Chains A and B, each alone.
Chain A
Amino acid sequence: MSMKPKALILHAAGINRDLDAAFALEAAGAEVEIVHVNKLRANPNILRQARILVIPGGFSYADALGAGRLFALDIASFFKDEVSRFVDEGKPVIGICNGFQTLVKAGLLPGRQLFTSDGDERRFTLSNNRNGRFECRWVTIKAEKSPCIWTKGIQEPVVCPVAHGEGRFLASSQAHMDALIAANLVALRYALATGEPAGELWPYNPNGSPYDIAGICNPKGNVLGLMPHPEDNVLTGPAGRSYHGGRQGSGLTLFKNGVRHAIDQGALYG
């Protein structure tokens, strides 16, 4: 088996940060293939050859009827079983921005129903930013105590851009939100440049997410969804950027974690 784990980047009409994600994963040591949903639909087995699954950012289906909703429908209609198996096997999955919206709306995040009475009903969503508009800016995010394999061991704040209009993470009830937090499924929060909590203060928390939630994971920790774009801050040196007090290239750490996990898994099962 190749030392480089293969990352499958799922592409659908309107997805546009697929190349950014591919660049970041290659930089983190993965071998990358961008696969269009039509191709995966024709041959769902392609997913079995991959050890990392990425749902990248963009405007899948132009965000018609709500961000991520139609991409989620694709996943649910065409390869629900394959993706569920991938998740159940503990392989790393990351959904960024539109990918996060897609994972939540497909019911893959936070994953296991938090209450038995919930049935199939979806209890979480990503809704319009509190200020009602799309916004692009650099933010600081901080990894929280969680089972997430993507943020494992990340102590320093990560700096990267956000670019979205529907990033406010909401639950249908406070009880559901409390259960999510109690289960330590909040993997990333918006922070001040120092790493202190943003306190729901705009623009540090750019979308008004309660509890500064920037990203959540499933209970197993292998699936992460987040609104910010760490894939857009992976370069260092003269080509890299530096905002909020340095932290050039700090987005790369997440992807290195994902790749390392896939390699360890490969060593375990390979």
Chain B
Amino acid sequence: MEHQSPVHRFTIRELKPGSKSSALIVREARRLGFEGIKAVLRSEIYFVRGKIAPEELGFLGRFLLSDPVTQTCDIHTLPLVPEGEGYAVEVAYHPGVTDPVADEILRSGKELGVSGIQAASTGLRYEIECEKGYTLSSQDLDKLASRLLANPVVQRWALGAVEPAFPGSDTEIPPEAWIPIHTMDEQGLAELNRSRRAALDPEEMRAIRDYFVAQGRACSDVEFEMIAQTWSEHCFHKTFKALIDVENGETGELPSQVDNILKTYIKAATDEIDAPWVISAFKDNAGIIEFDKNFDLSFKVETHNHPSAVEPFGGANTGVGGVIRDVMAVSARPFAVTDVLCFGIPGRGEGTSALSVEQIRLGVVAGVQDYGNKMGIPTLNGSIHYHEKYAANPLVYCGCAGIAPRRAFFSNPRVGDRILVLGGRTGRDGIRGATFSSMTMDGSTMETAGASVQIGAPLVEKKLSELILAARDAGLYTGITDCGAGGLSSAVGEMASELGADVELSEVRLKYPGLAPWEIWLSEAQERMVLAVPPEKLPALAELCDANDVEYCDLGFFTGSSNLVVRFNRKVILDLDCGFLHKGMPRRRMKAVPPSGRGEMQEPRSLPIGKIPGIDELFTAIMGHHAISSKEWAIRRYDHEVQGATRLGPFAGPDQAGPTDAAVAVPLETDLTRGVAISNGFNPRYGEADSYNAAASALDEAVRNAVAVGADPERIAVMDNFCWGDPLKPENLWTLLRAAKACKDAAVAHGTPFVSGKDSFNNEFEGPNGEKIAVPPSLLISAMGIVPELSAVRGSDLKHKDSLLYLIGEFSPFYEASVLMDILEDRPGLAAPGFSDLAPSVYRALHTALKAGLVESCHDLSEGGLGTALAEMCIAGGLGVHIDLQNLSAALKYPARTEGENGGASLDNPAWQALLLFGETNGCLVVEVEQGNSSSFEQHFSNLPFIMIGKVSAAPLLQASAGKKLLALVKIEALKRAYFRESAEILDQAEPSSVLDSQESREGR
């Protein structure tokens, strides 16, 4: 028996523990009330099982597990002698959780010639030092462990020495179970739905029963689980495909019935625009557009919200890994990753989650960092947003862009082709993730979610992505898809939907034995792809896999029948009609009702009321607001330079101090004359106030950002990612429909087709008083545009003193839902800025001016308005500006009721000044033009709104005046301090605590 082999423990300590390494743990411990904790020392623990000679142990410790220059290594054979004094907590993974470091120990130990190694596992040891006289009870230590040092979802801990856990050695395979669903009544169905966490409607349960009644037989657990997964909201998009009855109230804004949101609004925009350069929209794993005559581009954005809520590192990590596989699944080379993250506001409102807002935030960022960096894909674009209603339900949008030779993508499996699974092994990770993602979270989520958590192994995916490109070029497969939500069930099921298949599950390579057949079929273990391979190409593919250390297994073949058959050791355990599986789900009929408005009680405001602080003060307050302040602390943890193609990254200016509007990549396999712009638009405050205008604003912002960095407005494709609350609440569906309608209207206006999209529902959590809190309606629009000439990439950094500054576009600053309002008041906005009909023409004119070389720099107006755009341009360029608000104020058409309201439209009125500088508007940008070019520039805008607002100054000052009267004078240095304050504070904390990124700290450097 294996357990007779001894287990050896290696404890690796730093010779000089970093002074900062435990600062965050100590700070968080104090926040939990443990005032007397002075320091926490972390060391690494490795366990190796096997008959290994003492000199081999020394060799392993010295050459493999420690660095003799900076570390010491103690070796013991278990059991350990009891410890002496002092407090120690040790943390290790639960058995079965992916542990890539353990895998490497096993592999490299053998490479070193230590053949006796049978298994390895890892852990962390925390030694806690206290002030003299301060003591900790074992309850205290347990609290520290569960809140700070370990995440109970994936880890366990011990006070003192932790026992190693090795992957299970169960040889007993649980057989499939048979469910007598064909004889069940309503109550039986409800109970089955609950006990298997299927998250299906009663009507859907009845449809399953009726199918088996017709078959005259019971249903296997494999069959039931597969149907539940295929019909989940996550996989089937039931809400987007539903028939919706709309109760309009008086407004009549929406039709009385919407038959399929996706078709009615999103795809309808794409069809109406009918762009010839769109190659694939909504058909494949990613949207595809033309780049030039030699290459195509692909793009996909996914969300991974629920997994990130319970295990921030793993959730974000596998979110990135998953979307990269979407691009691999259209046979492209991934060249950019994007991430848009939404968190609660640290220190302001927590949910009932065991994880604090801060832990979620740092863990998610570490997870994104780990996967993107290790894949060697630059994280080029993204943003971070804060809102109290994301406290326990963060949003994690992960995107990936790819490039492939023209028309390299195809997926056309044929009858007789073999079904191969490549990449990672299958374990219990992520079981029922698709149905978990379709549920609302509550206090018990952390306990029940355990099995739904996935941990990534980017190394495996990196090998896989290289292999797939080689296999593509050699023509070794006819079809390809990735294993995402629903695992093999979903991947093979979709590929076989037209072809039928016969699959043998005992061929699947497992991480450890003992998985039930349904677990193998449903597992969401990461880093796997499914390929359809003609039998004659198998030897070549096998050779390629061996050369790249990629594992594969041959599961069966496409049969050409209408059924999908799954076997385990030859016995049929699933036999389903593909038509029923993919088309048999009863159509959802849903209801949308306008929310009983919060706004009915109050009128939206045009101007701030009450006392306005000085404009100088407002400038620093706004630059330091969480919506605007620098996200450098996160962005610099992502490699945005790998692949050498980053023409414009996240930072602008010679010192990389300011933000850019969008990223531009110039993939090195191209002729280096054009680029790809990647941008996004998102605003949770607008979403909460008015989902129609929020969606139109998001689309306009994404397009505006792309145009600002040189993208041709006629060559921009967009993507939608909706994150909403429970769709069964009619008010939520109403706001969703309004947002979807705005998507269509704005996309058609801009001529930007949707090529892909995704929806995530039930983003709700339990608040402190047990109430359900839904995230604000959150629509991310991502854009990908073609930059036809790289000389048009100018950046947002001011270039020359004395250049002129223009504001282009229909300037209509809005107070409601602005950052200014957030600073001045505590009530959420009641309305959001609308779409400017002139925006498409303005962007086209800007594009021709950029291509004509008339623009030195430009930056869009978004959150924080004109003042913020100017401040950011100054910070980026290291220069100042002097602007005059008179022309702007005079040109502004404004609702008549502004007259008299809180001082009215007068430049003597501080409220009006604040509105001009910080009110938010769509469709506008600030453009820097050299004096000699001003008349040519103005010609480009002859029939369009533009105003010359001022000049660039050498003095590092931001000055705003009204004629001769100076309204504001702020040092750029002061703006910079405010802008970087939060980032500097986070950077100062150094390494996050273990629960946030224990994996990353050991292997992600």
Query: Which residues of A come within 8 Å of B, CB atoms?
Result: 13-17, 19-20, 23-24, 36, 38-39, 57-59, 61-67, 69-70, 73-74, 77, 105, 121-125, 127-128, 130-138, 161, 163-166, 170-172, 229, 231-235, 237-239, 241-245
Q: Which listed residue, A64, A125, A132, A243, touches B70 by the CB 8 Å rule?
A: A125
A-B CB proximity, top 10 nearest: A16-B376, A238-B790, A165-B1005, A64-B104, A132-B991, A125-B69, A161-B641, A62-B459, A163-B639, A20-B644
Q: Which residues of A contact B18 (CB under 8 A)?
A: 128, 130, 132
- In the docked arrangement, what's the CA distance between A233 and B643, Å? 11
B443 contacts the other chain (Cβ, under 8 Å)? Answer: no
Q: Which listed residue, B70, B112, B666, B990, touches A239 by the CB 8 Å rule?
A: B666
Nearest chain B CB to A183's CB is how many angstroms away?
18
Other contacts beyond A132-B20, A134-B1005: 17, CB < 8 A: A13-B548, A15-B376, A19-B644, A20-B644, A38-B547, A62-B100, A63-B374, A64-B105, A66-B67, A74-B111, A127-B70, A132-B18, A136-B636, A163-B642, A172-B69, A241-B646, A244-B654
Q: Which listed residue, A14, A57, A77, touches B462 by the CB 8 Å rule?
A: A14
- In the docked arrangement, what's the CA distance between A3 and B466, Å? 31
Structural contact, A14 and B374, CB atoms closer than 8 A = yes
Q: Which residues of B contact A238 (CB under 8 A)?
A: 673, 789-791, 793
- In the docked arrangement, what's the CA distance between A229 and B646, Å? 13
Structural contact, B1003 and A63, CB atoms closer than 8 A = yes
Structural contact, A65 and B459, CB atoms closer than 8 A = no
Q: Which residues of B contact A166 (CB under 8 A)?
A: 1005
Q: Which residues of A contact B793 (CB under 8 A)?
A: 238
Q: How many A-B residue pairs have CB under 8 A?
A: 177
Q: Which residues of B contact A239 (CB under 8 A)?
A: 647, 666, 672-673, 790
- With A39-B547, A239-B666, A244-B654 as contacts: A65 and B105 at CB distance below 8 Å: yes
B637 contacts the other chain (Cβ, under 8 Å)? Answer: yes
Structural contact, A136 and B639, CB atoms closer than 8 A = yes
Structural contact, B374 and A59, CB atoms closer than 8 A = yes
Nearest chain B CB to A134's CB is how many angstroms away?
5
- In the docked arrangement, what's the CA distance between A166 and B1003, Å? 11
Structural contact, B656 and A137, CB atoms closer than 8 A = yes
Q: Which residue of A lies closest to B376 (CB)?
A: A16
B549 contacts the other chain (Cβ, under 8 Å)? Answer: yes
Q: Which residues of A contact B457 (CB under 8 A)?
A: 62
Structural contact, B668 and A19, CB atoms closer than 8 A = yes
Structural contact, B1003 and A62, CB atoms closer than 8 A = yes
Chain B positions 972-1005 with a Cβ under 8 Å from a chain A Cβ:
987, 990-991, 1002-1005
Residue among A20, A61, A133, A242 having the largest count of chain B Cβ atoms under 10 Å: A133
Structural contact, A20 and B990, CB atoms closer than 8 A = no
- With A70-B108, A125-B69, A134-B369 as contacts: A62 and B374 at CB distance below 8 Å: yes
Q: Which residues of B contact A66 (CB under 8 A)?
A: 67, 1005
Could you jot down 30 A-B contacts, CB within 8 Å? Answer: A16-B374, A16-B462, A17-B376, A19-B643, A20-B643, A36-B547, A59-B374, A62-B104, A62-B458, A62-B1004, A63-B374, A63-B1003, A64-B100, A73-B63, A77-B111, A122-B68, A125-B67, A132-B21, A134-B639, A163-B642, A170-B70, A231-B644, A232-B641, A232-B646, A235-B644, A239-B647, A239-B790, A241-B646, A241-B647, A245-B654
Structural contact, A131 and B987, CB atoms closer than 8 A = yes
Q: Which residue of A lies closest to B108 (CB)?
A: A70
Q: Which residues of A contact B655 (CB under 8 A)?
A: 243-244
Nearest chain A CB to B4's CB is how many angstroms away?
27
- In the docked arrangement, what's the CA distance between A242 and B651, Å? 12
Q: Mark B797-816, 1 if CB is under 8 A from A, else 0.
A: 00000000000000000000
Q: Is the interface of B mostly helix, strand, loop or mixed?
A: loop
Q: Mark B665-690, 1 if CB is under 8 A from A, else 0.
A: 01010001100000000000000000
Structural contact, B69 and A127, CB atoms closer than 8 A = yes
Q: Which residues of A contact B20 (CB under 8 A)?
A: 131-132
Q: Which residue of B lies closest to A243 (CB)?
A: B654
Q: Which residues of B contact A73 (CB under 8 A)?
A: 63-64, 108, 111-112
B640 contacts the other chain (Cβ, under 8 Å)? Answer: yes
B907 contacts the other chain (Cβ, under 8 Å)? Answer: no
Q: Which residues of A contact B459 (CB under 8 A)?
A: 13-14, 59, 61-62
Nearest chain B CB to A12's CB is how many angstroms away?
9
Q: Which residues of B contact A241 (CB under 8 A)?
A: 646-647
Nearest chain B CB to A186's CB is how many angstroms away?
17
Residue among B376, B459, B793 having the largest count of chain A Cβ atoms under 10 Å: B376
Structural contact, B672 and A127, CB atoms closer than 8 A = no
Structural contact, A13 and B463, CB atoms closer than 8 A = yes
Q: Which residue of B lies closest to A105 (CB)?
A: B67
Chain B positions 643-666 with a Cβ under 8 Å from a chain A Cβ:
643-644, 646-647, 654-656, 666
Q: Which residue of A lies closest to B101 (CB)?
A: A64
Q: Which residue of A lies closest to B546 (CB)?
A: A38
- In the docked arrangement, what's the CA distance between A161 and B68, Å? 29
Q: Which listed residue, A58, A123, A137, A172, touches B636 by the CB 8 Å rule?
A: A137
Chain B positions 773-800 with a Cβ under 8 Å from a chain A Cβ:
789-791, 793
Nearest chain B CB to A197's CB is how many angstroms away?
18
B375 contacts the other chain (Cβ, under 8 Å)? Answer: yes
Q: Which residues of B contact A20 (CB under 8 A)?
A: 642-644, 668
Structural contact, A13 and B549, CB atoms closer than 8 A = yes
- In the docked arrangement, what's the CA distance between A8 and B548, Å? 18
Q: Which residues of A contact B111 (CB under 8 A)?
A: 73-74, 77
Q: Which residues of A contact B636 (CB under 8 A)?
A: 135-137
B959 contacts the other chain (Cβ, under 8 Å)? Answer: no
- With A61-B104, A235-B672, A245-B654 as contacts: A136 and B641 at CB distance below 8 Å: yes
Chain B positions 617-653 with a Cβ under 8 Å from a chain A Cβ:
636-644, 646-647
- In the docked arrangement, what's the CA distance between A136 and B373, Å? 10
Nearest chain B CB to A213's CB is how many angstroms away?
14
Q: Mark B340-382, 1 if CB is under 8 A from A, else 0.
A: 0000000000000000000000000000010001111000000
Residue among B68, B668, B790 having the largest count of chain A Cβ atoms under 10 Å: B668
Nearest chain A CB to B926's CB is how many angstroms away?
22
Q: Which residues of A contact B647 (CB under 8 A)?
A: 239, 241
Chain B positions 69-109 with a Cβ under 8 Å from a chain A Cβ:
69-70, 100-101, 103-105, 108
